[in-house]
């Protein structure tokens, strides 16, 4: 957009907005907006500091005039983050529409008080450029805490209140602080944590009100309920839920726990019909339906929520205000409502481009009444997280933990048998890993950390480096390890051998060069070379753009990778010797995953590049030197993903069927065209002997149930098959007296099953219903999967395994130091931890892969051991360094929970997360706030704390 040179023009005019569009055009010092002629009416507005102001508006004035008067009164430049809300005649809280006449919305102005509050909550408070804006956001957080809307644990609540008090009364004074807490209510249950609040307040000495606002927002933005306004609803089964909207999209809560998120990138349309709220998702071959339906209390409730969703989407996702719809000639259809005002991008661009004078303002509740006019650069005197008195990320991130985070018992790291004298027997404390050279001194670690850049873009680039190292190692499994084995064997068909070599070798060679360039750039960025450390070296977009353009030239090879998978499977099926050769290769330690997963790695890596570039584009402002290259690279990689995504999803399903074929015995023809895997996991089946644990496998045409057999590889023996065609489901908890039970009525038989918990039952019922819908559409309603003779068992894959009981996972020898480590599969983990996973989970796991160094705490000492850790396939794999060819130990995470340590656990370090399952507890420490958040994010995708319900949302790519 070209900006006019006329200095007297308003902000809205300089943005090219027509005056009637409702764009805020106020700037500090300008006169209030012009009003249409007519009788003046008084309107009362309650401010965020609890004062009330009266504004005079014309009877015909649109809502924009009143809103602009409020912003002018406050000298507020970034007013578009805020709104005016009020209770209408139906006693429902609604937002004032800026385009409609105010008095047509507020029928009784004398009896109505409007509230000026935050309307749009950005994900990062550093996007708020003005100190006044941050102060108003801090007041909003104060209100949300006091009314119980901002739910968090006691540690986070106490810390936030301590920053509010520091802003209001200054440094800690025993008597004054205590009296202040007695006379002011900041939390519904404040008395219970009063001592905790004062302890935190003591540590803020010297912190200014502006710094307190900054620290308060830094804590608040990490809380799951930050900026969340719940709207009651029910799902199709009548289960009570809450809907909310955030910058990322539409969220679903059960109580105060988020159970699902529908990102804007996945939503095609939002609508409402009477009291039904509808979310239409973009076409996804892996989804079973594309419309989700929620029932709300009334049509008005639906419309109110729909309006705020429309506004949130426009504010955070659009570059400029949407144009008005043309008026229909004959009749109207649907709502004409639209977002009015500047988008977040327009606000940020305007404030950056304008040389606005900083105007002092009054802090109503603070001893320090106004900010010094010279505080033009707020960030220059805001301490970093590590330097703030109590702003250590270790404390701050407690907001990410569960509500009322309970303290575990005495933590035992890596299971039983780990007394100090026997530490070397644990998978992660083998003699190789406990030499002094591998235990990092904490002082050295802190000194090292301070040398490196702290910009978020650097850590995103470093994630690219660490994951590229793992990716190259995975390619080596194919191009070096596997090919060296099959190259020596005459039984292996030359066409398959040549096909794999011709299509993986060029990709491997390309990524060798790519990795080298990334390593060189990171070395320059960190200042470890003779190159200048400023300017061009503090970016990564140019490296990504160049190599992604190079990668596009390899598309023809990437398209052939699915053919490689199919031909290799055909060769195994037709030749017993080839099959045995491949299974023996899978037993080698270098092949730490099922081999077919490695064959799909290049397609999956495209998704990783896309996610990394999305993070960079989201982090950089559009004016940053690196933004243009990152955006161009993102466009290129998005096109490649779109081109190959259909193939990728088909191959994921094909690979999963092949993997399950190895785990099952007594089944014929599992891998057939059109069959889709949906979910596997444990359910208890009711029989004459009572409830018995069974492993269930749900496909698009049938449901089979099994028990673990006594074969050398502990394969699961099929007991029965339930065709889905014509099946119905009835919840039967009351009928049978068994918690979380339901009955499956098939055409031949019916079975009663029970899940381990309500959430597991919901997942199974939802997926089975979707599978029934798929089966009804199938042309072959009577597919029989069961083998006619168990003689086929002799042909099943005889790879060896270990007993994957929980104690054995943490026993004296690593699972990966034994032969037959392939037995540690997802199916076996689900069996022993009584949980389930779906194809959606596997697809999400493909994207949620991560590599990097972590420090692991020893059980009975303060020492931290440095390990190279790879997260993939729902497991952590541990190495001494990234140069190792195979992992020394692994930890499957299904069933685990990931949290942050509580204060009673005495982990006095930053960026620490805790993994625990029953009595097994592990502590790991990352190097920065960004890497901490990434590890928490990906691990949550594989643990029981991750929401795996509503499987129609395949992936979170935003």
Runs of H (alpha helix) within 328-434: 344-353, 393-396
Domain 849-943 - what CATH class?
mainly beta
Paired strand residues for 803: none
pLDDT tens, position by position, 244-261:
999 989 999 998 889 898
Choice between 574 and 419, residue whose per-residue pLDDT is larger: 574
Confidence of residue 356 (pLDDT cuts 50, 70, 90): low
Q: Exposed/middle/buried for 119, CB within 10 Å: 0-12, 13-18, 19+?
A: buried
Where is mean pLDDT largest: 24-38, 121-135, 541-555? 541-555
Which tokens go with 121?
């909550």
Distances (CA, A) of 127 to 116, 139, 155: 20, 17, 26
Predicted local confidence at residue 357, as pLDDT: 65
Cα–Cα distance for residue pair 202/563, rounded to 1 Å: 65
Residue partners of 91: CB distance under 8 A and separation at least 6: none
| Size of the chain, expressed as the number of residues it contains | 958
Could you tell me which of 198, 199, 316 has the C-alpha nearest to residue 246?
316
Weakest-pLDDT range from 201-205, 809-813, 928-932: 809-813
> CB of 566 within 8 A of CB of 457?
no
3-state secondary structure of 847: helix
Q: What would the two tokens of residue 166 be? A: 């520091």
Look at residues 874, 876, 875, 869 and name the one whose alpha carbon lies nearest to residue 845: 874
Mean pLDDT of all residues in 655-671? 86
Whether 414 has a pLDDT exceeding 90, the answer reads no
Q: What is the mean pLDDT of residues 52-77?
A: 92
* Secondary structure string (H, E, C) spanning 563-575: HHHHHHHHHHHHC
Domain range 40-221, its CATH number among 3.10.20.90, 3.40.640.10, 3.40.50.150, 1.20.1290.10: 3.10.20.90
Contact 43, 102 (CB under 8 A): yes
230-323+335-349: which CATH architecture? Roll (2.30)
Q: What is the pLDDT of residue 85?
A: 94
Residue 742 bridge partners (DSSP):
731, 753
pLDDT per position as a tens digit, 439-478: 444 544 555 555 567 789 999 999 999 999 999 999 999 9
pLDDT at 831 over 60: yes
CATH of domain 666-778: 2.30.29.30
DSSP secondary-structure letter at 489?
-
pLDDT at 154 over 70: yes
Share of the chain above pLDDT 70, in %: 76
Look at residue 372 and tell me whether its pLDDT is greater than 50. no
301-315, 410-424, 572-586, 645-659, range with the lowest pLDDT: 410-424
Written out in words, the top-level CATH class of the domain with range 456-663 is mainly alpha
Give the rounded distance of the alpha carbon of 757 from its chain centre. Answer: 24
Burial (CB count <10 Å: 0-12, 13-18, 19+), residue 609? buried
CA atoms within 13 A on the CB side of 583: 22
Cite the residue boundaries of each domain of the chain with CATH code 2.30.29.30: 230-323+335-349, 666-778, 849-943
Q: Which residue has the tokens 């302890």?
A: 199
More confident residue, 396 or 318: 318
Q: Which pLDDT score, from 0 to 100, does residue 362 have?
A: 81
For residue 379, count CB atoms less than 10 angstroms from its CB and return exposed for 0-12, middle for 13-18, buried for 19 or more.
exposed
DSSP string, 375-396: ---GGGGSPPTTTSSS--HHHH
What pLDDT, on a 0 to 100 scale, did the predictor assign at position 449?
54
Q: Is the pTM of this model over 0.85?
A: no
Whether the pLDDT of residue 687 is over 70: the answer is yes
* Per-chain mean pLDDT for the chain: 78
Sequence-distant (6+) residues with CB within 8 A of 136 are: 48, 74, 76, 82, 118
In the block, residue with structure tokens 């409609």? 100
Give the pair of three-digit tokens for residue 706.
């099994």
pLDDT digit string, tens, across residues 113-130: 999 999 999 988 888 888
pLDDT digits (tens, 9 = 90+) for 778-826: 655 455 665 543 333 333 322 222 233 233 333 333 332 333 444 468 8
Where do the CATH 3.10.20.90 domains begin and end in the chain?
Answer: 40-221
Query: Cα(688)–Cα(705) distance, rounded to whole angstroms?
Result: 16
d(CA 12, CA 350): 10
pLDDT for the residue 795: 32
Q: What is the pLDDT of residue 895?
A: 87
User: Per the structure block, which two tokens stand in for 783?
Assistant: 């597919």
Q: 83 - beta bridge partners?
A: 117
Q: Mean pLDDT across the stretch 275-297?
A: 83
Do 724 and 784 touch, CB atoms closer than 8 A? no
Strands (E), 37-109: 40-46, 52-58, 82-87, 93-95
- DSSP conformational letter for 945: T
At 350 the pLDDT is 83
pLDDT in the model for residue 326: 57
- Answer with the residue of higher pLDDT: 317 or 114: 114
pLDDT, tens digit, for every residue of 519-549? 999 988 887 554 444 556 788 999 999 999 9
Q: State residue 833's pLDDT score.
A: 85
pLDDT above 70 (res 714)? yes
What pLDDT, on the 0 to 100 scale, is given for residue 67? 94
- What are the tokens at 714? 């502990």
């Amino acid at each position: 957009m070209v900006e006019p040179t006329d200095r007297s023009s308003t902000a809205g005019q300089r943005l090219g907005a027509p005056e009637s569009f409702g764009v805020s055009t106020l700037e500090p010092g300008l006169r209030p907006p012009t009003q249409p002629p007519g009788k003046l009416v008084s309107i009362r507005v309650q401010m965020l500091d609890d004062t009330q102001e009266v504004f005079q508006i014309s009877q015909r004035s649109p809502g924009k005039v009143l809103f602009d008067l409020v912003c002018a009164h406050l000298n507020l430049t970034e007013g578009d983050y805020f709104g005016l809300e009020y209770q209408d005649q139906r006693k429902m809280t609604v937002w004032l529409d800026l385009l409609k006449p105010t008095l047509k919305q507020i029928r009784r102005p004398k009896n109505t008080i409007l509230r000026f509050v935050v309307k749009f909550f950005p994900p990062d408070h550093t996007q708020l450029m003005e100190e006044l804006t941050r102060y108003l956001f801090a007041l909003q957080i104060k209100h949300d805490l006091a009314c119980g809307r901002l739910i968090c644990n006691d540690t986070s609540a106490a810390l936030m209140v301590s920053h509010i008090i520091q802003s209001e009364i200054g440094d800690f004074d025993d008597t004054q602080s205590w009296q202040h807490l007695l006379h002011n209510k900041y939390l519904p249950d404040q008395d219970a944590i009063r001592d905790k609040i004062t302890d935190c307040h003591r540590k803020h000495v010297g912190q200014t009100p502006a710094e307190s606002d900054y620290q308060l927002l830094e804590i608040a933005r990490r809380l799951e309920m930050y900026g969340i306004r719940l709207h009651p609803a029910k799902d199709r089964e009548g289960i009570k839920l809450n809907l909310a909207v955030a910058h990322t999209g539409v969220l679903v809560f059960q109580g105060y726990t988020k159970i699902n998120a529908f990102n804007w990138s996945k939503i095609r349309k939002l609508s409402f019909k009477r009291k039904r709220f509808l979310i239409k998702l973009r076409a996804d071959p892996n989804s079973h339906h594309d419309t989700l339906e929620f029932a709300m209390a009334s049509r008005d409730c639906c419309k109110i929520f729909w309006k705020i969703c429309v506004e949130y989407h426009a504010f955070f996702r659009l570059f400029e205000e949407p144009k008005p719809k043309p008026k229909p000639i004959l009749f109207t259809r649907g709502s004409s409502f639209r977002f009015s005002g500047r988008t977040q991008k327009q606000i940020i661009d305007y404030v950056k481009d304008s040389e606005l004078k900083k105007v002092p303002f009054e802090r109503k509740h603070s001893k320090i009444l106004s900010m010094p006019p010279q505080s033009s650069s707020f960030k220059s005197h805001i301490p970093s997280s590590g330097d703030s008195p109590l702003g250590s990320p270790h404390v701050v991130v407690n907001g990410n933990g569960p509500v009322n985070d309970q303290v575990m018992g005495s933590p035992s790291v890596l299971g039983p048998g780990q007394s100090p004298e026997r530490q070397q027997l644990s998978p992660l404390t083998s003699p190789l890993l406990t030499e002094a050279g591998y235990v990092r001194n904490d002082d050295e670690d802190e000194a090292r950390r301070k040398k490196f850049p702290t910009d978020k873009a650097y850590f995103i680039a470093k994630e690219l480096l660490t994951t590229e190292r793992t990716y190259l190692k995975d390619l080596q499994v194919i191009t070096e390890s596997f090919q060296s084995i099959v190259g020596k064997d005459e039984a292996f068909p030359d066409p398959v051998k040549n096909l794999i070599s011709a299509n993986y070798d060029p990709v491997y060679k390309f990524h060798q060069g790519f990795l080298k360039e990334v390593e060189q750039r990171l070395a320059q960025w960190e200042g470890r070379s003779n190159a200048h450390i400023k300017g061009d070296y503090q970016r990564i977009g140019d490296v990504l753009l160049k190599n992604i353009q190079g990668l596009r030239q390899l598309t023809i090879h990437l398209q052939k990778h699915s053919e490689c998978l199919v031909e290799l499977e055909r060769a195994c099926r037709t030749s017993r010797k080839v099959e045995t050769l491949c299974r023996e290769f899978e037993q080698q330690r270098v092949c730490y995953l099922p081999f077919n997963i490695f064959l799909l790695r290049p397609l999956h890596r495209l998704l990783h590049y896309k996610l990394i570039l999305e993070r960079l584009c989201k982090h950089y402002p559009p004016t940053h030197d690196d933004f243009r290259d990152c955006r161009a690279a993102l466009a290129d990689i998005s096109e490649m993903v779109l081109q190959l995504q259909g193939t990728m999803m088909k191959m994921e399903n094909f690979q999963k069927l092949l993997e399950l074929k190895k785990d099952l015995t007594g089944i014929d023809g599992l891998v057939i065209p059109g069959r889709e895997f949906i979910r596997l996991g444990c359910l208890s089946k009711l029989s004459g002997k009572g409830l018995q644990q069974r492993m269930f496998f749900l496909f698009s045409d049938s449901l089979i149930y099994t028990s673990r057999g006594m074969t050398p590889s502990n394969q699961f023996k099929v007991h029965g098959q339930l065709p889905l065609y014509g099946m119905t489901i009835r919840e039967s908890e009351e009928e049978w007296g068994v918690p979380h039970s339901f009955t499956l009525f098939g055409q031949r038989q019916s079975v009663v099953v029970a899940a381990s918990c309500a959430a597991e039952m919901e997942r199974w019922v939802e997926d089975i219903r979707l599978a029934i819908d798929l089966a009804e559409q199938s042309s072959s309603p009577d597919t029989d999967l069961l083998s006619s003779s168990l003689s086929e068992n002799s042909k099943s894959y005889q790879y060896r395994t270990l007993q994957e009981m929980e104690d054995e996972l943490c026993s004296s020898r690593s699972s990966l130091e034994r032969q037959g480590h392939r037995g540690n599969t997802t199916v076996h983990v689900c069996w022993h931890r009584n949980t389930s996973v779906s194809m959606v989970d596997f697809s999400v796991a493909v994207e949620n892969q991560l590599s990097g160094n972590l420090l692991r705490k020893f059980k009975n000492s303060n020492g931290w051991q440095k390990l190279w850790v790879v997260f993939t396939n729902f497991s952590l794999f541990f190495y001494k360094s990234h140069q190792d060819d195979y992992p020394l130990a692994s930890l499957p995470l299904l069933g685990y929970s990931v949290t942050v340590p509580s204060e009673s656990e005495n982990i006095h370090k930053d960026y620490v997360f805790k993994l625990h399952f029953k009595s097994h507890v592990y502590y790991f420490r990352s190097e920065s706030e960004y890497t901490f958040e990434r590890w928490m994010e990906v691990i949550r995708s594989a643990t029981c704390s991750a929401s795996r319900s509503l499987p129609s949302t395949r992936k979170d790519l935003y």
